[in-house]
Amino acid sequence: MARNVTTSRKSINTIAAGALGFLMFFPVLWIVILSFKTEGNAIKAPLEILLNTGWTTESYGAVQARSNYFKHFSNSLIISLGSTFLGMLIAIPAAWSMAFVPAKRTKNVLMWMLSTKMLPPVGVLIPIYLIFRDLGILDTRTGLVIVLMLINLPIIVWMLYTYFREIPGEILEAARMDGASLREEVIHVLVPMAIPGMASTVLLNVILAWNEAFWTLNLTAAKAAPLTAFIASYSSPEGLFYAKLSAASVMAIAPILIMGWFSQKQLVRGLTFGAVK
């Protein structure tokens, strides 16, 4: 049972942890603030920015004007949702098989799938680049959807597998006894029961795909560039750009930050492959 903790002790903890948490969060907070300043004000001393400058939303408009921001935003959206959706479609049957009809090899197959995730992307950069060039899918959203689907597939399969395993096999057998075909069993029983797990799988993989910054940078130019690549274009800027960079960044990370906060718990499970519970 909970112990009695003195109020002063609790206050010290709160202050210490709060300060650390705030420090970690500060860069994010800071770009939110800068994104509402004018370019001239954004480079002033921090105290002056906080105390003596007005607020404006002009940077958000400027970002769109500089380069078609919403095109990149929709690229990110399509690529991360598309790759996750495709991955789920392939992973659900695979995870069903491994969780409910385990064979001797199942564990090895699962481990092998995970091992493909350990392959350093740079090790296969050249062949993928050349294959994509020859297929004409360099700098296309299709190409990125395929690559991101493949690199996240092991994680999707793994996460679904661990969620499916928590569903008692007897319930699926009951459905079979009740006259359900395999398809009906999956649609009416497995999927509805696994919805929370599937939702967090989708969430985590959308996050991973959204933030992926190796393939998205190397396989795109102007056309299919998602936000990771678009933001990278600020590394060689012209003129003052702090406020615009902040505005672009805020829009790029806000949706993912919100999703991420919802998926804290699943994050541990998904990224440690169940090694930490």
Minimum CB separation of residue 231 from another protein in Å reads 4
Using the rule CB under 8 A, which residue among 138, 206, 249, 270 binds another protein?
A: 249
Minimum CB separation of residue 141 from another protein in Å reads 17
**Binding string to another protein for residues 45 to 84, with x set by CB under 8 A, is what?**
xx--------------------------------------
Q: Which is nearer to another protein, 63 or 113 (CB)?
A: 113
Q: Which is nearer to another protein, 28 or 65 (CB)?
A: 28
> SS3 for the chain, per residue?
CCCCCCHHHHHHHHHHHHHHHHHHHHHHHHHHHHHCCCHHHHCCCHHHHHHHCCCCCHHHHHHHHHCCHHHHHHHHHHHHHHHHHHHHHHHHHHHHHHHHCCCCCHHHHHHHHHHHHCCCHHHHHHHHHHHHHHHCCCCCHHHHHHHHHHHHHHHHHHHHHHHHHCCCHHHHHHHHHCCCCHHHHHHHHHHHHHHHHHHHHHHHHHHHHHHCCCHHHHCCCCCCCCHHHHHHHHHCCCCCCHHHHHHHHHHHHHHHHHHHHHCHHHHHHHHCCCCCC
**Binding string to another protein for residues 207 to 236, with x set by CB under 8 A, is what?**
x--xx-xx--xx--------xxx-xx-xx-
Can residue 88 be called a binding residue for another protein (CB under 8 A)? Answer: no
Kindly state the number of chain residues that form the binding site for another protein, as judged by CB under 8 A: 114
Minimum CB separation of residue 124 from another protein in Å reads 4
Using the rule CB under 8 A, which residue among 110, 144, 145, 155 binds another protein?
A: 110
Can residue 192 be called a binding residue for another protein (CB under 8 A)? Answer: yes
Near another protein in 123-182, by CB under 8 A: 123-131, 150, 153-154, 157, 168-171, 173-182
Q: Which is nearer to another protein, 65 or 240 (CB)?
A: 240
